[in-house]
Structure 1
Amino acid sequence: MSQYRTFTAADAVEYAREFGGIADPQSLVSSQEIGDGNLNLVFKIFDRDDVSRIVVKQALPYVRCVGESWPLTLDRARIEAEVLQIHGQFCPAHTVKILHYDPALAVMVMEDLSSHAIWRGEQVKGIDYPQAAAQLGEYLAQTLFHTSDFYQHPYQKKADVIRFTNPELCDITEELFFNEPYEVHERNGYPRALESLVAQLRTDDELRQKVAGLKHRFLSNAEALLHGDVHSGSIFVAENSLKVIDAEFGFYGPMGFDVGSALGNLLINYCALPGLLAPREAADAREKRLDDVRTTWQSFAEGFLALAAEKTRDRALAYPGYAAEFLAKVWRDTLGYCGTELIRRTVGMSQVADIKTIQDEVMKAECVRQAITLGRTLILAADHVENIDALIARVRQNG
Structure 2
Amino acid sequence: MALPTPDGYRMMDENELRHLLAGLPDIVARLGGDSGSWQVREVGDGNLNLVFIVEGNNGGICVKQALPYVRLVGESWPLDLNRAFFEYRASVIQAEHCHGLVPQILHYEPTLFLIVMELLSPHIIMRRGMIDAVIYPRFVEHITDYMARSLFFTSDLALPAAQRKAMITEFCPNTDLCKITEDLIFTHPYMVHELNRWTSPQLDGWAAAWRGDDQLKLAISRLKLDFLSRAEALLHGDLHTGSIMVTPDETRVIDPEFAFVGPMAFDIGKLLGNLVLNFFSHDGHETVSHERDAYRAWVVETIHGVWHGFAQKFLDLWTRHRTGDAYPRDLLPEGSAIFAQAQNAFIEQMWTDAVRYAGASMIRRTLGLAHNADLERIEDPDRRAACEKRVLELARDLVVNAGSYASVEQVTGRARAIRERDLG
TM-score by length of 2: 0.90
What pairs with 1:161-172 in structure 2 (closer than 5 Å)?
Answer: 161-165=168-172, 166-172=174-180
Q: Distance in 1 between matches of 2:250 and 2:34?
A: 28
What pairs with 1:302-321 in structure 2 (closer than 5 Å)?
Answer: 302-314=312-324, 316-318=326-328, 319=332, 320-321=339-340
**Which residue is equivalent to 2:204?**
195
CA 1:11/1:390 → structure 2, altered by over 3 Å: closer, same or farther? Answer: same
CA 1:295/1:38 → structure 2, altered by over 3 Å: closer, same or farther? Answer: same
What pairs with 1:23-172 in structure 2 (closer than 5 Å)?
Answer: 23=30, 25-28=32-35, 29-48=38-57, 53-165=60-172, 166-172=174-180
Listed one character per residue, the Cα deviations across residues 132-188 of structure 1 (whole Å, up to 9, x for unaligned) are 123112111010000000001110101110100111110010000011100111111
What pairs with 1:194-273 in structure 2 (closer than 5 Å)?
Answer: 194-273=203-282
Q: Distance in 2 between matches of 1:90 and 1:398?
A: 39
TM-score by length of 1: 0.96
Q: Distance in 2 between matches of 1:84 and 1:316?
A: 25
* Structure 1 residue ranges without an equivalent (≥5): none
Q: Which amino acid aligns with 2:84?
A: A
Question: Is 2:290 the partner of 1:280?
Answer: yes
- From 153, 162, 175, give the equivalent of 2:183: 175
Q: Which amino acid aligns with 1:205?
A: D
- From 18, 32, 41, give the equivalent of 1:13: 18
Question: Is 2:22 the partner of 1:22?
Answer: no
- From 297, 300, 324, give the equivalent of 2:344: 324
Question: Over aligned residue pairs, what C-alpha RMSD do you find?
Answer: 1.6
Question: Runs ≥4 in structure 1, deviation > 6 angstroms?
Answer: none
Listed one character per residue, the Cα deviations across residues 175-234 of structure 1 (whole Å, up to 9, x for unaligned) are 000111001111111122111122111122221111011100000000000000001111
Q: Structure 1 residue 21: deviation in Å?
A: 6.2
CA 1:385/1:44 → structure 2, altered by over 3 Å: closer, same or farther? Answer: same
Question: Is 2:392 the partner of 1:372?
Answer: yes
**Which residue is equivalent to 2:306?**
296
Does the CA contact (< 8 Å) of 1:126 and 1:277 recur in 2? no
Percent of residue pairs identical: 38
Listed one character per residue, the Cα deviations across residues 69-106 of structure 1 (whole Å, up to 9, x for unaligned) are 21111110000010011111100121111111121110
**Which residue is equivalent to 1:359?**
379
CA 1:190/1:182 → structure 2, altered by over 3 Å: closer, same or farther? Answer: same
Q: Structure 1 residue 30: deviation in Å?
A: 2.0
Does the CA contact (< 8 Å) of 1:100 and 1:110 recur in 2? yes
Does the CA contact (< 8 Å) of 1:13 and 1:30 recur in 2? no
Q: Which amino acid aligns with 2:402?
A: A
Q: Structure 1 residue 316: deviation in Å?
A: 4.9
SS at structure 2 position matched to 1:43: strand
* Structure 2 residue ranges without an equivalent (≥5): 1-5, 333-338, 420-424
Q: Distance in 2 between matches of 1:195 and 1:274?
A: 21
Does the CA contact (< 8 Å) of 2:185 and 2:361 recur in 1? yes
Q: Structure 1 residue 41: deviation in Å?
A: 0.5
Q: Structure 1 residue 15: deviation in Å?
A: 3.2
- Larger Rg computed on CA atoms: 2
Listed one character per residue, the Cα deviations across residues 322-359 of structure 1 (whole Å, up to 9, x for unaligned) are 22211111111100000001000011001111111101
